[in-house]
Amino acid sequence: MLEEDMEVAIKVVVVGNGAVGKSSMIQRFCKGIFTKDYKKTIGVDFLERQIIVNGEEVRLMLWDTAGQEEFDAITKAYYRGAQACVLVFSTTDRESYQAIDNWREKVEAEVGNIPTVLVQNKIDLLEETVIKNEEAEALAKRLKLRFYRASVKEDLNVNEGVFNTTSSNVTNQSSSNGREVITLRPNKQRTKKSKNPFGGCSLL
């Protein structure tokens, strides 16, 4: 198969405790929508979107993993093959903040040290916050991770921040490593182009 018939695909796992906004974040990025109704992820969900990174078409495959312990055996299997990770905690949930170290260890146990960003979600809920800015920044500094404060509801730092930065980190790493961290797969868009700006999204 010719190289021009292949596309760059990046698998990104989004992890963190339940109800921190992982599913909403992916829905916002991939479909441009937000819903306040919470629906617990059972196992994993999958969405994808094609974007431009450093002038190149990249298909992001976003894996939304369950945040409850009873799904650990299932979700750990889906970490394998991930090329990037988004760690999410909620500004209204201290336990989710305290669990970040554990989530990172789980991912690294399966895939090693991959490009990772840390996200503090729900920053629009100012009156409900239980995490001080200094605490969040200290966590990011200790883990040596790029850090974003985000609001999925207000669409703050979801598109231009979290996922675009994650994609750039992976493609930049692949350039320095001979593209060995990038997955190439058949380019379905060569035979069918969508006019919908969110047409690159699909649900497994």
| 200 is a domain residue | no
* CATH number for 123: 3.40.50.300
Query: 35 — phi, psi (to 5°)?
Result: -130, 140
| Amino acid identity for residue 177 in this structure | N
Q: Is the whole model's pTM more than 0.75, yes or no?
A: yes
The reported pLDDT for the residue numbered 194 is: 35
| Tally of domains within the chain | 1
The reported pLDDT for the residue numbered 63 is: 92
* Structural domain for 47, as ranges: 3-188
Closest CA to 64 of 85, 83, 81, 90: 85
| 26 is a domain residue | yes
- In the chain, which residues have pLDDT < 50? 1-2, 178-182, 190-204
The reported pLDDT for the residue numbered 20 is: 95
Q: What gap in Å lies between CA 180 and CA 177, rounded to an integer?
A: 6
The reported pLDDT for the residue numbered 74 is: 74
The reported pLDDT for the residue numbered 56 is: 85
pLDDT in tens, 125-170: 999 999 999 999 999 999 999 999 999 999 999 987 788 878 888 8
The reported pLDDT for the residue numbered 123 is: 97
| 194 is a domain residue | no
Q: Residues 67, 17: contact at Cβ < 8 Å? A: yes
Q: Rounded to a whole number, what is the largest CA-CA distance in the chain?
A: 56
